[in-house]
Amino acid sequence: MTIAAPSPSVRSSARDPIFDELGFPTDPDNLYTQTVGTMINAANTINMRHRVKIILAQPKNEVMVHFPVRMDDGHHRLFKGYRVQHNNACGPYKGGIRYHHDVHLDDVKSLALLMTVKCALMRLPLGGGKGGVKCDPKSMSAGEIERVTRRFTAAIMNEIGPDYDVPAPDVNTNAQIMAWIADTYMSSVNAQSANDGLRVVTGKPIDMGGSLGREKATGQGVVDCLLEMLPGLGIVKDTSGFQGLRISIQGFGNVGSWAGRILEKKHGSKVVAVQDHTGYIVNENGFDTEALAEHVRQNGGIAGFEKAKGNTPGIGGTLVSEEEFYKTPVDVFIPAALEQMIKERQARWLNAKVMIEGANAPSTPEGDAILGERGITVIPAVLANAGGVTVSYFEWVQNKSCHYWTEETVDAELNRTMCMAARRTLVCKEKYRVDMRSAAYCASLEHLAKVYELRGIFP
């Protein structure tokens, strides 16, 4: 008989011995310690062997580089960059590169571990990695961003490769930045052919070997996951119940805007509340999400959209406070911004039946615990936002085969992959009698445990 571990969303008072064995910091607010704690709790639930737990508790490689870049005014500035390669037992390292002023090593390590878990849950032949550059791209010119990108690529040139470590876009990076990485790699001695340059990154522009459907993939995956899981959770009877479903979204960048647009335009849901770094707006009639996305593209945030034709249906909105935003009654809340934004206060305010994580690790352990106590179902990021890496894998396959798929094929394969992962999660939820986050980790770690059982530990 398997005894279920406590929910990883509740911080345990007892520190697992593995943390001391591996010399982890004692700070309970350390994001990497929290992420590993979630993994260890799930590993204990499935009775994973100790040797596999300690392997998964630390990345295989942590690369930190410093590199100078000439700025537009002629002076040179030193930048710090990271590439963390967590695990490649199932295949090449895979994970995005983010540009953000608050990038830190432990954050990148956490995201790399989550990529390992995510790829294993989706049963992709990939491992987990992540990278980042500590910078503020919003204050930089396009030329400066290009020079940072090319110089960072040169600095980690020997750490990436089309069959070893394949980066992708993440926060504040996009298809253009992937094109610069591919071109820089293609121009180096590492690239044996033009195809190596194309295959070394995913999320590229369509004209440079990118995949149709990649831009919307993470948001599409969130929607596919909702369509698969909400009927079973009793929120709707079937997919026709998405008509009029009330949605709130935190963060209206790539993930949040695509999820909102697909839910509104294709399924008839109402996006009634939106938040980003520029403010909070509510429209009980539901926003015109295409108009809001265009406003964000032109203005860098949702601020000012409330002045767009007042409160007419689908347009404009009303400025509200942070508390009013979270207390707006909705069926589904989609956090799609940065990590650790749903703290204890926000979790107590949230008026939603389901939270589906479009962002990685959007809540703190305290916030997660309160959501559980209040009966708000959390669909975790390792399942919900895996659409991005899944379509990145499809792009990599297309680059390797030199055969490109239609958008309909991409969407169909993504839906199939997301649905299968959702079902694995639900099976583990019943099997181990745990919450959804623990179940997703268990479904992933079962696969990784089997891989290590087959491979053994060299030598």
Answer for the pair 86, 109: CB distance below 8 angstroms, yes or no.
Answer: yes
Torsion sign over Cα 21, 24, 26, 28: negative
**Can you list the alpha helix ranges (DSSP code H) found in 235-336?**
254-267, 289-299, 322-327
Other CB atoms within a 10 A radius of the CB of residue 55 amount to 16
The reply to whether omega before 28 is within 30° of 0 (cis) is: no
Backbone angles phi and psi of 70, in degrees to 5: -75, 125
Backbone angles phi and psi of 429, in degrees to 5: -60, -45
Instruction: Give the C-alpha separation, 315 to 442, whole Å.
Output: 43
Long-range contacts of the stretch 321-327 (C-beta < 8 A, 24+): 321/280, 322/275, 322/280, 322/346, 323/349, 324/280, 324/282, 325/248, 325/273, 325/275, 325/280, 325/282, 326/350, 326/351, 327/351
State the DSSP H helix or E strand holding residue 182, giving kind and residue range, or none if neither.
Answer: helix 175-186
* Bridge partners (DSSP) listed for residue 97: 131, 169
State the DSSP H helix or E strand holding residue 233, giving kind and residue range, or none if neither.
Answer: helix 217-233
Active site residue 138: no
| Radius of gyration for the alpha carbons in the chain, expressed in angstroms and rounded | 21
Answer for the pair 332, 352: CB distance below 8 angstroms, yes or no.
Answer: yes
Torsion sign over Cα 325, 331, 336, 340: positive
Instruction: Give the C-alpha separation, 229 to 49, whole Å.
Output: 31
Angle, vertex CA 246, rays to CA 243 and CA 252, nearest 5: 110
Instruction: Of 433, 410, 414, 412, give the one whose Cα is nearest residue 422.
Output: 414
Answer for the pair 128, 121: CB distance below 8 angstroms, yes or no.
Answer: no
Write down the catalytic residue from 94, 109, 118, 130: 130
State the DSSP H helix or E strand holding residue 146, giving kind and residue range, or none if neither.
Answer: helix 142-155
Which residues are identified as catalytic? 130
